[in-house]
Amino acid sequence: MKKAFFSILCLGFSIFSYSQDQVVNGNLLVNGIIDNGNLKTNKLKSILARIEEGNADGEGTYIGVKSYYSQKKSENNYTEGSIKMFSIEHKFYGELNNSIDFYRGGSTIGGHIGMSVYDGTEYFRFSKALLEVLGTIRATEVKVETGWSDFVFEKDYKLPTLQEVESHINEHKHLPDIPSEAEVKENGVSLGEMQAKLLQKIEELTLYTIELNKTVKEQGEKIQKLEAERNNNE
């Protein structure tokens, strides 16, 4: 009798527990031999999942995936077709506000990470470049580690003559070793490289100024000498 009562009590408790929200105040460990599965909300969207086909490649666990294939939003209203991607999105009244998108690419390489806004515009992405930004970067400091231009002050450096610089400017309409406006519009500039080139021009200008100062000083001394000779002859 006691055994039957205990069984009924356990069954009732089990039914009651399944009908209630489960709250765990502490750590929760889920373990088992099944290596594919997911944790879902009542909206049928996985919030924590692992698919079986990922096991061989060690893809591990991922968050926020509804299906293996998703569609990238575009101006053509999702007409780009299915691509392998995963997004962390913020929506407001069902409309995309912004998202971080992970694109797998066409093979095991070639994927990228991007941040998009409501109209599908990517404001930055991690792809061939480590970081690409469409827009303004605001920072209190930017540190660039690259080569520098102190080679200008080496004894074997061939400083162009001012006549050579003038000839280059007349022909090409820009300074030697500096890209033209057309090149910058097409290819952009490397911030570190351009800073080094600008420093190179400043250092060359400094050398020109030093030489000019020497010439002016020599001319001043000659003028003083001529004036002294003239005063002695009077």
User: What DSSP string runs through the chain?
Assistant: -HHHHHHHHHHHHHHHHHTS----SS------S---EEEE-TTS-EEEEE-GGGTTTT---BSS-S-S-EE---TTSS-S-EE-EEEEEEEETTEEEEEEEEE--SSSS--EEEEEETTS-EEEEESSSS-EESS----S---------GGGGSTT--PPPHHHHHHHHHHHSS-TTS--HHHHHHH---HHHHHHHHHHHHHHHHHHHHHHHHHHHHHHHHHHHHHHHHHHH-
Which position has the higher pLDDT, 127 or 210? 210
Token pair of 87, please?
């997004």
pTM, 2 dp? 0.52
Q: How far apart are CA 172 and CA 174, in angstroms?
A: 6
pLDDT-wise least confident of 2-11, 45-54, 68-77, 105-114: 68-77
CB 49 within 8 A of CB 30: no
d(CA 70, CA 85): 6
Residue given tokens 């941040």 in the structure block: 115
Q: What is the pLDDT of residues 148-201, one digit of tens each?
A: 999 999 999 999 999 999 999 999 999 999 999 999 999 988 888 999 999 999
Q: How many CA atoms lie within 13 A of 120 on its CB side?
A: 10
Reported as a pLDDT band with limits 50, 70 and 90, residue 100 is confident
pLDDT exceeds 80 at position 63: no
Tokens coding 101: 């998108």
Average pLDDT, the chain: 72
- pLDDT for position 21: 55
Residue 86: pLDDT band with limits 50, 70, 90: low
CA–CA separation, 164 and 232 (whole Å)? 43
Q: In the chain, where are the structural domains located?
A: 33-133, 150-233
Whether the CB-CB separation of 112 and 103 falls below 8 Å is answered with: yes
Give 114-155 pLDDT, tens digit per residue: 777 766 666 666 666 666 676 777 889 888 888 899 999 999
Half-sphere exposure of 124 (CA within 13 A, CB side): 10
